[in-house]
Amino acid sequence: MKKPLVIALLVLAAIGAGWFGWNGRDARQAKDELTLYGNVDIRQIALAFDASGRIAELRAEEGDQVNAGSVIGVLDTRTLELQAKQAEANVEAQRQTLRRLRNGSRPEEIAEVRARMGSAESDVQRAKRELSRVIRLQDSQAVSVQDVEQARNVSEVAKAKVEEVRATLRLAELGPRSEEVAVAEAQLSATEAQVALLRHQVDLGTLRAPTDAVVRSRLLEPGDMATPQKAVFSLALTKPKWIRVYINEPDLGKIQPGMQAQVFTDSHPDRPIRGSVGYISSVAEFTPKAVQTEELRTNLVYEVRVIVEDDANVLRLGQPATVHLSISAAP
């Protein structure tokens, strides 16, 4: 009777030792590791045109990977293109006008004015001779008083013509005034600015991806009217990517930024993804209105972001994830 009793006591002792050893191991693991649960989170962009107009073309679909600077949408800018070409023609006309003013009169133009000057002076001499002849004939009453007055008027007109041509020759030799050149320069600058504005408006009709991203949603279609206030695409950034988890207030002191972590998902339970603690909120969430007891303080939670290195791009927005933090390996 005593021998079976001793054997039974030894078996119970072995079971008890194993049970205490196993629970001790679990306790040590619990102290060395912290497990948190959360979801994958990324930044998103609501991308819209900077100009208003009718959409002519969209070059991306949901799920497409787009690179920074790639064109993913185009507005109908044909009217602006025609206006820009018209303004460019005006620029060329203004440029030629300014060049003509800066160059001044051509030698051929000055020579032409001088020839007109010589012709006008010849007319004056001829008119003077005619007036003298008429005055001599007046003494013999061979001409009337009206003939004398007419000859005098012709002589005065010829003299005025000489002064007019002389002034024209002076202006041709001096060239344009500096004020006229300044006005032409200002007009050219204004026309060039108009061309630049129109070209900028044409460029605003092109929608480019601001960074590498994945198209989450295509919110408009070709033919729709676009405005700067109406998003065309919803983009999800591929980097950075993090797991948003919440930690209880008693465990808050166990973690710190830079702590290494391993992230597991249900779809890849045997392929952990490396990460590190990047952000710990300084404000509690889900806080009771009146925190009075120690039990209520344990309900306080703080947001933590675990930045992951998802080079294979296996994590998706909103996907559940489990985060294991090694407390013993904390920096």
Last residue of a domain, one of 152, 184, 201: 201
Say whether the peptide bond before residue 240 is cis (omega within 30 degrees of 0).
yes
Domain that holds residue 195: 82-201
* Count of the separate structural domains present in the chain: 3
| Tokens describing residue 270 | 């045997």
CATH of the domain at 217: 2.40.50.100
Mean pLDDT is highest, among 150-164, 244-258, 279-293, for 244-258
DSSP strand E in the chain: where?
A: 33-47, 53-58, 65-66, 71-75, 206-208, 213-218, 225-226, 233-248, 260-264, 273-285, 301-308, 320-326
pLDDT at 21: 45
| Model pLDDT for residues 293-323, shown as the tens digit of each residue | 445 445 678 889 999 988 888 888 888 999 9
| Domain shared by 55 and 133, yes or no | no
Instruction: Please report, rounded to a whole number, the percentage of residues in the chain having pLDDT higher than 90.
Output: 36
pLDDT at 125: 81
CATH of the domain at 269: 2.40.30.170
* Residue 331 falls inside a structural domain: no
Q: d(Cα 215, Cα 59) in Å, to the nearest integer?
A: 11
pLDDT at 77: 94
Out of 101-105, 162-166, 258-262, 280-284, which region has the weakest mean confidence (pLDDT)?
A: 101-105
| Domain shared by 148 and 247, yes or no | no
| Domain shared by 68 and 213, yes or no | yes
pLDDT at 29: 42
| Domain shared by 256 and 284, yes or no | yes
Going by pLDDT thresholds of 50, 70 and 90, the confidence category of residue 144 is confident
Q: How far is CA 308 from CA 143, 146, 322, in A?
A: 118, 113, 12
Going by pLDDT thresholds of 50, 70 and 90, the confidence category of residue 103 is low
| Model pLDDT for residues 155-183, shown as the tens digit of each residue | 788 778 877 877 776 766 656 667 777 88
For residue 179, give every residue at least 6 positions away whose Cβ sits within 8 Å of its Cβ, in sequence order, or none. Answer: none
* Residue 13 falls inside a structural domain: no
CB 235 within 8 A of CB 45: yes
* Residue 15 falls inside a structural domain: no
Out of 68-72, 254-258, 281-285, 317-321, which region has the weakest mean confidence (pLDDT)?
A: 281-285
Higher pLDDT, 108 or 331: 108
Q: d(Cα 295, Cα 286) in Å, to the nearest integer?
A: 14
| Domain shared by 68 and 172, yes or no | no
Higher pLDDT, 175 or 11: 175
Residue 7 has pLDDT above 50, yes or no: yes
| Domain shared by 106 and 210, yes or no | no
| Model pLDDT for residues 189-229, shown as the tens digit of each residue | 999 999 999 999 999 999 999 999 999 999 999 999 999 99
Out of 81-85, 152-156, 200-204, 251-255, which region has the weakest mean confidence (pLDDT)?
A: 152-156
Matching residue, tokens 């009169």: 105
pTM over 0.85: no
